[in-house]
Structure 1
Amino acid sequence: MAAPSRLVVTACALKFFDGFLLIYPFYAVMFVDHGLTPWQVSVTLIAWSTTAFVLQMPAGLLADRFPRRWLLAGAQFARAIGFLAWLLFPGFVGFLIGLMLWGVKSAFTNGVFEALVYDELREAGRADEYARIVGRAQACLFAAMLISSFLAAYVVTHGYGPPIIASIAASIAATWAALSLPAARRAQPMGRADYLGQLKRGFGYAAGHVLLPGVIAILAVSQAFGGGLEAFWAVFGREVGLRTSDIALVVGLVGASQGAGAALAYRARAWPLAFFLGLLAAIGLMLGGAALAYQPWAVVLIIVLAGLFKVIDVNLDARLHDAIPTEMRATLAATRSFAGLTALTLMLLGFGPLAQATSYRTAFLGAAAALIAIGLGFLFLRAFRRPGPTQA
């Protein structure tokens, strides 16, 4: 039976406009072109992750008590203001403010969107379609990235201003799409709000569950490297000699790969957790190969590994939601994002200084080595641990 049509259409519309950002392929390169050092670029990204980190748990708690579509709409509007800051103040401070507002958007989207979709499907008796529907919405996001990247390759010839203006318009459209989402019921009545109590119950439930700690940890690693390095793929293209317009095409193909990975991820729904750990290590090998080669053709490896990250994300996110109750769904989804942002910030604190002291190439090699070690390390731990009754 098909999922509720309004939910599918509006969720896909939200994700499409969320990803239709013409400035996205160039923002890291734009920072470099305006004189930011590798460490300053990392600082702006850390400002994004830190803002999202600080607001992630409050966002999840609020989303379990207030209309989630209003939180999603406010998040998109905050990012539009951030893009305006880039347009008016193109320098380190303006870029910092813009990414902090993007962090607000991330905090009030990650976990909140997924919780809204899952609970709508659950109320319709179709929770088993969650991975497919979220995968479809993610595919819309990355399709938008592909289309906008091809457009951006032309628009950027007129400077960075037009892509920023187009990105502001897309964020306003995403705000409208968020307001059009179904008004899912609140999991808790507002009069019973007990934020610290809800947070304590959420952490306690996750810590005592056989499956959740491992799933959250793997998702955190995938978010740290898949999301944290995403901003540097354009820099990778610049480093290996691609033109600015070519970089936009590469970023678009990265988005297409991510969309394909998200859309097809449900086919691996029944595969064991060990497969996804091995996939993490394989991604590290691919990144290491790309950094060792450091030639224009190596971007093909980047394109492929970006899609593989999404296979991990969508499948483990579905397992996470299957294991948590409705009344703390957004709280625990926010816990997952909170853990991911913590790992992402730590990754950037290592990547930026390493690139500053040596080179971007060395930093990419370091990230590859970390992924290989983490993937194989998790596999080693699982091999010597007695499986629990709900372990997948």
Structure 2
Amino acid sequence: MRRVAFWAIAYFALNAAIPFFAVYTLLFADAGLSDAQITSLLAFWSVTAFVVEVPSGTWADLVDRRLLLFGAGLLLAATFASWILVPTYAGFAFGFVLWGLSGAMMSGTFEALLYDELSAHGRAERYAGLMGTATTVQILAMLAAIALAAPLMSLGGYTLVAWVSVAVALVHAACALALPKAAPTTPTTPTEDAEVASTVWSRYVRTMRAGFVESTRVRAVRRLVLLSAFLWSVSLVEEYFPLIGRDQGAPAAQIPLLITLTVAFQAVGTAFTGRAALLRGRWLAWLLLLAAALFVAGLTDPLSVADSVAGRVALFTVLGLAFGIATMITLVVDARLQDAVTGRARATVTSFAGLSSEAVTLGVFGLIAAGTYVTTLAATLSVLALLLVVLAWFVGRWTDLPPTAKAPTP
């Protein structure tokens, strides 16, 4: 199990150990794009993932999941190369399409591979804790990458940041090949294998239908799919943190360091995912309400402290705490979704959750783009953060699974 944990964490962590993540919105802004145009680029990412999310998830229930994860890493590398080679709106949009494809191929595939591998060894109960650890290591890797972005920017500007990011993405792709091949989720008798070879399309359709049915007709699964979708959509607030820092008066060289604060405190939150998974829904709801309050405080600067360096540090610390709590609860919800899935189309069900998240995210992007025309970006994002207040009510009522809703452990 140590080998499984090591390579799973390595693959997951390197997906975010990208220096470009700290400054790519600044590249777009320096290329002359407005806040609304940058938001439209993020929509390209979301639309692409929306279209291919479930089809790629269904393939992950039928083929070697490691190959899909390897391809996802290659597409991620191509994303950053396209941004620096073609620094125009069209080049940026193309990169977001590649990023959307990469994210869709990884979404559901990684979670299903890890959960099925743990389940095959009788350790399914370790999934929440392992995902929490993987996320914490991923955040720390992101923290190191973001901190590295500042000296890279000083040494070689956006060009050096981009090519270092391409190199990391290629190593990330290579790690996928070291992951174990999870226990098969399809029949393996000789007769069934012969049928499989001649009816690939029918298998594909049956698998997608099975995932759809479980996602929509099994109440516990349906509720957790919806909760996961809305919680992940709120996480897109993070994409605007560099712009928030600039609006608060931080110079460009200081912004990566402020983002480092948010990432560090997020890591603290996700490190407690395993313990949070033991909490009942009502306690998770109270934590989510706390995250909402912190988000609003960090975005709106109610004490007007953003004019000083210390004030900006305080505001980004608050944002980091909020993001850490929200991410921790989202991981707990995702773990309970995996527990609730009992069919063989695990990756497909997880991809339906991802599809739902993309659908919600598209709406959120539209609201943000429209909101920036009538008020500040910070005020617009504060309204979005209040969505957590509504979600807290559902988290308190939908996350306590009855014993019959939990997936059996072999």
Shared topology, TM-score over 0.5?
yes
The residue aligned with 2:163 is: 165
Q: Could you list the per-position Cα deviations for residues 296-340 of structure 1 after superposition, in whole angstroms to 9, with x for gaps in the alignment?
A: 232121111111122112211111111113511101111111111
Query: In structure 2, do the counterparts of structure 1 residues 159 and 20 end up closer, same or farther at CA, with 3 Å as the change threshold?
Result: same
Structure 1 residue ranges without an equivalent (≥5): none
The residue aligned with 1:322 is: 339
CA drift of 1:79 comes to 1.3
The residue aligned with 1:234 is: 242
Give the counterpart of 2:316 among 299, 307, 314.
299
Give the counterpart of 1:48 among 30, 36, 45.
45
Contact 1:145 / 1:256 at 8 angstroms: preserved in 2? Answer: no
Alpha-carbon RMSD: 2.2
In structure 2, how many angstroms separate the alpha carbons of the residues matched to 1:188 and 1:144? 35
131-140 or 281-290, larger mean C-alpha shift: 281-290
In structure 2, how many angstroms separate the alpha carbons of the residues matched to 1:330 and 1:265? 22
Equivalent residue of 2:278, what SS? Answer: coil
Given the two structures, how large is their TM-score scaled by the length of structure 2? Answer: 0.88
Is the counterpart of residue 265 in structure 1 residue 239 in structure 2? no
Given the two structures, how large is their TM-score scaled by the length of structure 1? Answer: 0.92
Query: How many residues of Structure 1 are paired with residues of Structure 2 in the alignment?
Result: 384
Residue type at the aligned position of 2:171: A
Give the counterpart of 1:313 among 321, 330, 333.
330
Query: In structure 2, do the counterparts of structure 1 residues 120 and 351 end up closer, same or farther at CA, with 3 Å as the change threshold?
Result: same
In structure 2, how many angstroms separate the alpha carbons of the residues matched to 1:285 and 1:306? 11
What is the aligned-residue identity percentage? 28
Give the counterpart of 2:218 among 195, 204, 209.
209
Equivalent residue of 1:357, what SS? Answer: coil
CA drift of 1:73 comes to 0.6
Contact 1:10 / 1:180 at 8 angstroms: preserved in 2? Answer: yes
In structure 1, how many angstroms separate the alpha carbons of the residues matched to 2:282 and 2:404? 15
Equivalent residue of 2:361, what SS? Answer: helix
272-281 or 284-293, larger mean C-alpha shift: 272-281
Q: Could you list the per-position Cα deviations for residues 167-220 of structure 1 after superposition, in whole angstroms to 9, with x for gaps in the alignment?
A: 000010001001111122432265354333322222222333232222222211
Give the counterpart of 1:19 among 4, 16, 20.
16
Aligned runs of 1:168-207 on 2, under 5 Å? 168-188=166-186, 190-191=196-197, 193=200, 194-207=203-216
Aligned runs of 1:333-352 on 2, under 5 Å? 333-352=350-369
The residue aligned with 2:191 is: none
Contact 2:120 / 2:183 at 8 angstroms: preserved in 1? Answer: no
338-347 or 294-303, larger mean C-alpha shift: 294-303
Residue type at the aligned position of 1:306: F
The residue aligned with 1:6 is: 3
CA drift of 1:252 comes to 2.1
In structure 2, how many angstroms separate the alpha carbons of the residues matched to 1:370 and 1:324? 27
Contact 1:45 / 1:99 at 8 angstroms: preserved in 2? Answer: yes
Query: In structure 2, do the counterparts of structure 1 residues 315 and 388 end up closer, same or farther at CA, with 3 Å as the change threshold?
Result: closer
CA drift of 1:91 comes to 1.7
Equivalent residue of 2:345, what SS? Answer: helix
CA drift of 1:389 comes to 7.3
Structure 2 residue ranges without an equivalent (≥5): 188-195, 307-311
